Amino acid sequence: MYFNPKIEKWMHSKVTPCHNKLRSGEKEGLVQYERVPKPETNETAVGSTDCSDKEIDTDEVKAADDNDDKDASPFSMPQSVWKRILWVPSLPIMSLMFITVPDCRKERWKKCYMVTFFMSLVWISGFSYLLVWMITVIGFTLNIPDTIMGITFLAAGVSVPDAIVSLLVAREGLGDMAVSNAVGSNVFDILLCLGFPWFLMSVVHGMETIPVYSEGLTYSSITLLSNVVILLIVTHVNGWKLDKKLGVILMILYVIFMVLASLYELNIFGYFHPPTCKSKYD
């Protein structure tokens, strides 16, 4: 910090002396200031308003951007041992996504946000197809009905992104957005993710019907609707607040639903699910 005489001169020109002795040329009653030498350093003093001497170095900005790009590169090895163990098997996929999906957060890729969106959809579609194929093969190998694989592993796999989003917004205090995300995603999955493929399949095969080989889905749907009603009742009783008690209740309801749905599909309560069709691999 050092005294700026220009500010003092400007202040004296704006303020009228309130005492007759404080006239031009009289030093009585005035506090004399001496200018403190400015420290010889390249950094601007804290609290100083004089920023004209400090110029922005474009080379430093570019170097900082290059460092950010280097940090975002999937080819840089993490520091911790656990992250390195996860980094090795995920390196091929991360490399492909790094090459094919432009990072529109960076300045040079800002105009390519539509390409980022389209390539993200392509990768999501590919991962979804691979997930369904692997779940089908595992269920067929272990002689597990496809409906059970769908309501357990497949449903949990595709719902992980929704759970992460709900967790993030709940941490920000947006409980209504977390609940709306959970309800809205299920409505989207039921109405659009089932309606559009069925419509497309019927159009391709000459408007043929698509049979559903499981009567247990009727009881599973009734159980699901009952859970939705219970969710509204429990949330209302809890004062429309999200807390640990409500979380425990919802997890218990999920376990009850999974047990009942699995018993339906395993024909424990009756003959609901026919045996899997024969294939050339039998």
Q: Using an 8 Å Cβ cutoff, are 119 and 101 in contact?
A: yes
Q: 113-141 and 81-100 are packed helices; what angle lies between their axes, rounded to 10 degrees?
A: 120
Query: Which has more confidence, 256 or 173?
Result: 256
Q: How confident is the model at residue 117 (pLDDT cuts 50, 70, 90)?
A: very high
Q: Residue 44 carries which side chain, given as an amino acid letter? A: T
**pLDDT surpassing 90 at residue 122:** yes
Amino acid 66: pLDDT: 47
Amino acid 219: pLDDT: 78
Cα distance between residue 181 and residue 189, in whole Å: 12
Q: 155-171 and 113-141 are packed helices; what angle lies between their axes, rounded to 10 degrees?
A: 130
**pLDDT surpassing 90 at residue 118:** yes
CA angle 15, 18, 22 (to 5 degrees): 90
Please give the average per-residue pLDDT across 68-83, as a whole number.
72
Reduced to 3 states, what is the DSSP secondary structure of residue 80? coil
Mean pLDDT of the chain: 75
* Closest to 211 in 3D by CA, of 223, 220, 202, 222: 202
Cβ neighbours of residue 8 under 8 Å, at least 6 residues apart?
Answer: 33
Q: How confident is the model at residue 20 (pLDDT cuts 50, 70, 90)?
A: very low
What DSSP assignment string belongs to 215-259? THHHHHHHHHHHHHHHHHHHHHHTTS---HHHHHHHHHHHHHHHH
Please give the average per-residue pLDDT across 20-29, as a whole number.
46
What are the helix and strand counts (H, E) for the chain?
9, 0
pTM of the model: 0.57
Amino acid 278: pLDDT: 60
Cα distance between residue 176 and residue 241, in whole Å: 9
**pLDDT surpassing 60 at residue 229:** yes
Q: How confident is the model at residue 81 (pLDDT cuts 50, 70, 90)?
A: confident
Amino acid 115: pLDDT: 92
Amino acid 123: pLDDT: 92
Query: Which has more confidence, 205 or 34?
Result: 205
Q: How confident is the model at residue 44 (pLDDT cuts 50, 70, 90)?
A: very low
Amino acid 209: pLDDT: 79
- Lookup: tokens for 84: 């390195």
**pLDDT surpassing 80 at residue 30:** no
